[in-house]
Structure 1
Amino acid sequence: MTVTEPARTAAPLPPTAARAAAVGGSPVRDILAVTARPEVINFAGGLPAPGLFDAQGIAAAFRAVLEETPERALQYSTTEGEPALRAAVAARTAARGLATDADDVLITTGSQQALSLLATVLIEPGDTVLVENPCYLAALQAFAFAGARVVPVPCDEAGIDPAALDELVALHRPKLLYTVPTFQNPTGRTLPAARRAAVAEVAERRGVWIVEDDPYGELRFEGERVPWIATYPGAEDRTVLLGSFSKVMAPGLRLGWLRGPEALLRACVVAKQAADLHTPTVNQLAAARYLADADLDAHVARVAGVYRERRDAMLLGLAEALPEGSGWVRPEGGMFVWAKLPEGYDTGELLRGVVAHDVAYVPGAPFFAGEPDVSTLRLCFVTQSPDEIAEGLRRLRGALVA
């Protein structure tokens, strides 16, 4: 007699959270994946130039900490971060005009994690967040995952309009304003000092957090440095300053930091414990050793000099590469040029044809929290030589103008 096993039926698995389905991936990452062919001159990335990394200096720092203190370097660490690195970050911050000690600093796994931590501890689902228009794309993702209602603040070529900001804060009572005021991603623009003071005044009078993200500020090519918003009257106790070694040392280290008021910092420490316990110890110690043994400022100055040449090469060729009537922002530093084509052009729809010419950019539409301007695009100028930039712009002209 044969016994037949009953048919097995499997119940479907529970679905992912609604926010996971609602928040899309990064269009920049998607474009990089489809333009990875070596023949493509890729202006789409936001990557620092790998040929300019101080690989020898960083390798020496890793060797030193692994040879001298391997037990510590390979062990768990405190959530707040290694004391030596926190002290070094605090000293660099204080030297740039914002009084800071090590206890004011939380080391994060890249400044992107700092954004996620702030979204976790500040935002309840349905809370309003104000952002620049357009805005850094990964910030929009972080706020969307937290369930925030993201409202764009009108901006011009100089950045945030303080009067419009004041009206929106009064109307929406947001939890925070997120801004990249220096060499902004994606536009490359820099908020002038007078507007920074006005933003600080609005935040104090209306009662709102300012999240000031500064990953590019040290990459200045020309002009005078503008102080952080955090240094202006009214902003001191309500501004969270984010920084990163990704653009000035190496992004693969995944080292960023958050400087903020004590109570908020404590909340972020608890959130980080739940996220990853701590940022890798060996990377922190190597970065601290590098800062002690090498001259990071001199390295950054060399990098900025090369980037300036590449920016100039891009600006020189844009008039011929883009259709007549186009405009663009001249950045004083950073990594990006933001361009706007004449009415009727859609840079997203045009991208497939552009990539067929072996060149790529990022369409501007994904950077907008509200109604997108489909005629805009972002060009990264730091990873190609001036000759490669000239050739890339020639190909772009072939796709857009010919």
Structure 2
Amino acid sequence: MTVTEPAPSRAPVPPLAARARGVGGSPVREILAVTARPEVINFAGGLPAPELFDQDGIAAAFREVLELTPAQALQYSTTEGEPALRTALAARVTAQGLPTAPDDLLVTTGSQQALSLLATALIEPGDTVLVESPCYLAALQVFALAGARVVSVPGDEDGVDPAALEEAVLRERPKLLYLVPTFQNPTGRTMPAPRRRAVAAVAARQGVWIVEDDPYGELRYDGERVPWIAAHPGAEDRVVLLGSLSKVMAPGLRLGWLRAPAELRRACAVAKQAADLHTPTVNQLAAARYLDVLDTHVARVRAVYGERRDAMLAALPDALPEGSVWTRPEGGMFLWARLPDPYDTTALLPQVVRQDVAYVPGAPFYAADPDRSTLRLCFVTQTPDEIQEGLRRLGRGLAAR
């Protein structure tokens, strides 16, 4: 006779934390997964052009590090970052108009980690965070995961409106304001210098942190560089500047940095210790060597990306329906389009993808009240010929509605 053992009793495991249950995945990541087929011309990603990576130069930097200082390169490092890289980055930031010492910087595993560290160091559940409208959607994810209440500040083609910002600060008493003032993601717009001075003055009067995220600032194709908000009087002790090597060197190295006042920087370092101890040593040392030739590489990238931006701007009038409007960015990676009513870019995306082309609908970039007629296009990953063909496909997809 066979004896059947009773099934062991199984109690349910404890649930996920409320913050994890309430935050969804990245819509851009989900779109990229759907459109990974090689025949799709993908304007949805925010990916640098891989054919422009300086493979030889980066490989040489790694070889030098591994040949000359292998014990250091393969060992643990300090949480704050390798002194050689912090010294080189500080010199670069200083040369761009913001006096900076190596100890003012914390090296992070991409500037996305810097956002997460700041959220850990600054935000209590229920705190208010002010953002642009629309806003970089991965920042919205970070703030949501931290339990923040996210409020959009009204603005225009120059960014947040200073008067509306001051009203929002007085009404909401936020912990911080998050901005991408230069070649903003998703719109591509740049906040002019007078607006930056006014925003810095609001922060000085009202006592609020500004997180100034600048991953695209070196990718300028037209016009003159605009000084960081962090460089304006009154902003010295309340602006956190974030930078990244992802868009100008290689995103796979995951190298970013934050510049912050001492107390906040130390708090972020403690948060980083708990997260990953430190950013990979060998990557930091190789980057420190590569910074010597970075400007030459960036000049080449700017020339190519500028041509690609121009190709997209030239082809857009024939691709988008009559009545559409779009930004004309001076740099960066993106432009932003608004279609006439009643176009809904989220609803239209599946039929556009059937034409083997993709974009990002605008709705996920809004903290509230999304404009469903908007979309983001990345112009740096494809060649001018591919951009022209992709926009022809986009026009067919939009016309098929």
TM-score tier (shorter): over 0.9
SS of structure 2 residue aligned to 1:221: coil
Measure, in 2, the Cα distance between the counterparts of 1:192 and 1:4.
76
SS of structure 2 residue aligned to 1:220: coil
2:369 corresponds to which residue?
371
1:111 corresponds to which residue?
111
* Residue type of the alignment partner of 1:203: A
State the percentage of identical aligned residues. 78
Verify: 1:261 aligned to 2:261, yes or no: yes
Measure, in 1, the Cα distance between the counterparts of 2:188 and 2:199.
19
2:328 corresponds to which residue?
330
Query: Runs ≥4 in structure 1, deviation > 2 angstroms?
Result: 1-7
* Residue type of the alignment partner of 2:7: A
The number of residues matched between the two structures is: 400
2:230 corresponds to which residue?
230
SS of structure 1 residue aligned to 2:330: coil
Q: What is the TM-score with the length of structure 2 in the denominator?
A: 0.98
- The CA deviation at 1:332 is 0.1
1:18 corresponds to which residue?
18
Measure, in 2, the Cα distance between the counterparts of 1:284 and 1:262.
22
Q: What is the TM-score with the length of structure 1 in the denominator?
A: 0.98
Q: Deviations over 1:302-356 (max 9, x none)?
A: 1011001000000001111001000001000000010000011100000000000
* Residue type of the alignment partner of 1:368: Y
2:191 corresponds to which residue?
191
Measure, in 2, the Cα distance between the counterparts of 1:152 and 1:65.
45
Measure, in 2, the Cα distance between the counterparts of 1:154 and 1:59.
46
Verify: 1:63 aligned to 2:63, yes or no: yes
- The CA deviation at 1:200 is 0.2
SS of structure 1 residue aligned to 2:291: helix
Measure, in 2, the Cα distance between the counterparts of 1:242 and 1:285.
20
- The CA deviation at 1:401 is 2.8
Q: 1:11 to 1:54 in 2, by over 3 A?
A: same
Q: Deviations over 1:261-291 (max 9, x none)?
A: 0010000000000000000001001101112
* Residue type of the alignment partner of 1:321: A
- The CA deviation at 1:9 is 1.1
- Give the 5 Å matches for 1:162-201: 162-201=162-201
SS of structure 1 residue aligned to 2:78: coil
Measure, in 2, the Cα distance between the counterparts of 1:202 and 1:140.
22
- The CA deviation at 1:23 is 0.6
Given the alignment, which residue of 307, 311, 314 partners 1:313? 311
- The CA deviation at 1:399 is 1.0
> Over aligned residue pairs, what C-alpha RMSD do you find?
1.0
Contact 1:321/1:401 (8 A) holds in 2: no
Verify: 1:209 aligned to 2:209, yes or no: yes
SS of structure 2 residue aligned to 1:186: coil
Measure, in 1, the Cα distance between the counterparts of 2:230 and 2:273.
26
Measure, in 2, the Cα distance between the counterparts of 1:37 and 1:320.
25
- Give the 5 Å matches for 1:3-402: 5-292=5-292, 295-401=293-399
Measure, in 1, the Cα distance between the counterparts of 2:155 and 2:287.
36
* Residue type of the alignment partner of 1:339: A
Q: Deviations over 1:63-111 (max 9, x none)?
A: 1111111111111000000000000110000000001000000000000
* Residue type of the alignment partner of 1:378: R
Q: Deviations over 1:128-180 (max 9, x none)?
A: 00000000010000000100000001121111111110100000000000000
Measure, in 2, the Cα distance between the counterparts of 1:224 and 1:211.
23
Q: Unpaired runs of 5+ in structure 2?
A: none
